[in-house]
Amino acid sequence: MKMKYILKLTFCLFAALNITSCSDFLDVNNNPNAPVSENLSLGAKLSAALVSSVVQETGQLNQIGAFWGGYWGTTSEGINNFIDLKTYNGPAIRHQRDGIPVWETGYANLLYYQLIREEATAEGALFYSGVAKIMQGWHFMHLVDVYNNLPFDDALQGTVHPTPRYEEGRVVYEKSINLITEGIEDIKNAPAGTEAGADDVMFTGNKTRWVKFGNTVKLRALLRQSEVGDQGYITAEIGKIQAEGSGYLGAGASALVQPGYLTTAGKLNPFWENYYRTVQNVSTANHQDIRPTAFLINTYKQRNDPRLATLYVAVGTDYKGVLFGNPNAEPEYERANTSAFKGPNENGNAPAGLFKSATQASVLMGSFESLFLQAEAAQRGWITGSAKSLYESAIQESFKYLEVNTGAFAAYNAQPLVNFDNATNKIERIIEQKWLALNSISSLEAWSDYRRLGIPALPNSLDAPSPASFPLRFMYPESERQTNNEEASRHGSDDVTQAKVWWDK
């Protein structure tokens, strides 16, 4: 190492001639282009995480659910669009580039909350750690609904677990529910004045709302396992929610995300910008070619549903749907002959059902969904309260959200196909109306309810591999096959039309 010594000596001699200090010369590695975690407040991270969650919810997940939950099909012109969803083409859906990256987006969102949670826990910022835990529970369970078994304990730790171990979907559900319970505790323990403000783009720091939201998500998770047959667990968990005491999201208390959308490129409500109009007020490709299914239109029609008129544009005097997965480009299903989504442009500039304005809030979970969940739980005898009044209140909340005059409710509710008392199968009635209310808003729930209960009796895609094969899950993504194949392949078949999610019995 004598050589090294000589070199160093020589170097420093020259260095002295050239520059004042080696160290100063080399200290240029602080990123001048972007902040790092230490530069930013928890609030600046929470706002972005919540918006990112709702972008996935109202975009990617809602779209999958809308096709597989019976709401959407395409025009004859758009026959080749969404072909992978129409044909249940699992390998294409999991494709790294052209597929639907639910897994990737889901875990990215989970990471955002993980970093907030870690930082908030270290700083004792309980409100933030509580929100992060609730939202992590939300995302983990959504991922299970799509992929079944997946990493929970090993997840989100960077290089600590480079090939995270998968856990059973049931276990992930259980752990997620516990995580939400913890989150609720944190929020309740957060001292007054430490809540988020405008950064909390969902509830502006309203602790009670967050706790109610957490309880509602847990209720949704418990109802999801209604067919599994572990009633003891469900009862115990319901007991915890009741002991907590804050209850669920009720009328007028939707979980809406409103960061302050603007009528300018890239800052519009993303659902509007994807499925209705661009910033230049041009009808988008999705608006051109996505249409309600004939089955959906008929279900509304059979009930003389006033929501039909606020949701869709009439063709002549009638509403026309399409056949999901129709392999033939028939003229009767062309754009001009079928009902497109209605928006202010087709509604005398007044807000329409789904499309009210370019800056409308995004729906993470509607009050109507919460009320339908409560109605089902009440009907099952899990919670106290009248299933009927919860059911009616849910429909009214749906009317309100979809810009239907609440005065129309009484006549609507009087119809035999709607009235709760007339129903022989109350659960079926609740789920039917829930399906009509969640249309294009929280469509993933429709697909999950169909898998859980088979309600309503959806017609299969005409392009399905066989008439009896319905989509049951996503295959593990190619990215996971490439990086964590041992774990991914340990969990048996992940075939789209054969392998079931754990709660699907």
Residue type, 346: E
Using CA atoms, how far apart are residues 268 and 76, in angstroms rounded to an integer? 29
List the one residue from 100, 131, 156, 446 that touches other proteins (CB under 8 A): 156
Q: Looking at 90-98, 371-379, 388-396, 411-419, which segment touches other proteins (CB under 8 A)?
A: 90-98
Shortest approach of other proteins to residue 399 CB, angstroms? Answer: 30
User: CA-CA-CA-CA torsion for 125, 131, 137, 142, nearest 10 degrees?
Assistant: -140
Is residue 471 at the binding interface for other proteins, with CB under 8 A as the rule?
Answer: no
Q: Looking at 124-132, 159-167, 187-195, 297-305, which segment touches other proteins (CB under 8 A)?
A: 159-167
List the one residue from 61, 64, 79, 387 that touches other proteins (CB under 8 A): 79
Is residue 505 at the binding interface for other proteins, with CB under 8 A as the rule?
Answer: no
Using CA atoms, how far apart are residues 422 and 309, in angstroms rounded to an integer? 25
- Which two tokens mark 57? 């919810």
Residues in the chain: 505
Q: Looking at 9-17, 182-190, 204-212, 392-400, which segment touches other proteins (CB under 8 A)?
A: 9-17
Q: Looking at 220-228, 237-245, 278-286, 429-437, which segment touches other proteins (CB under 8 A)?
A: 278-286
What pairs with residue 425 in β-bridges? none
Contacts of 447 (CB under 8 A, 6+ apart): 64, 65, 68, 69, 471
**Considering beta carbons, is residue 89 or 347 the nearer one to other proteins?**
89
Is residue 445 at the binding interface for other proteins, with CB under 8 A as the rule?
Answer: no
Is residue 501 at the binding interface for other proteins, with CB under 8 A as the rule?
Answer: no
> How many chain residues are in contact with other proteins, going by CB under 8 A?
111
Residue type, 501: V
**Considering beta carbons, is residue 83 or 228 the nearer one to other proteins?**
83
Shortest approach of other proteins to residue 26 CB, angstroms? Answer: 4
Using CA atoms, how far apart are residues 72 and 94, in angstroms rounded to an integer? 21
SS3 391: helix
180-239 positions binding other proteins, by CB under 8 A: 198-199, 201
Q: Output Rg (C-alpha) for the chain, integer angstroms.
A: 25
Using CA atoms, how far apart are residues 88 and 495, in angstroms rounded to an integer? 10
**Considering beta carbons, is residue 298 or 489 the nearer one to other proteins?**
489
User: CA-CA-CA-CA torsion for 488, 489, 490, 491, nearest 10 degrees?
Assistant: 80
**Considering beta carbons, is residue 173 or 399 the nearer one to other proteins?**
173
Closest CA to 76 of 277, 266, 324, 244: 324
Is residue 288 at the binding interface for other proteins, with CB under 8 A as the rule?
Answer: yes
SS3 349: coil
Q: Looking at 291-299, 322-330, 370-378, 419-427, which segment touches other proteins (CB under 8 A)?
A: 322-330
Is residue 45 at the binding interface for other proteins, with CB under 8 A as the rule?
Answer: yes
Is residue 110 at the binding interface for other proteins, with CB under 8 A as the rule?
Answer: yes
Closest CA to 92 of 465, 346, 466, 489: 465
List the one residue from 193, 232, 266, 316 that touches other proteins (CB under 8 A): 266
**Considering beta carbons, is residue 28 or 243 the nearer one to other proteins?**
28
Using CA atoms, how far apart are residues 136 and 142, in angstroms rounded to an integer? 10
Shortest approach of other proteins to residue 492 CB, angstroms? Answer: 10
List the one residue from 229, 260, 454, 467 that touches other proteins (CB under 8 A): 260
What pairs with residue 405 in β-bridges? none
Is residue 137 at the binding interface for other proteins, with CB under 8 A as the rule?
Answer: no
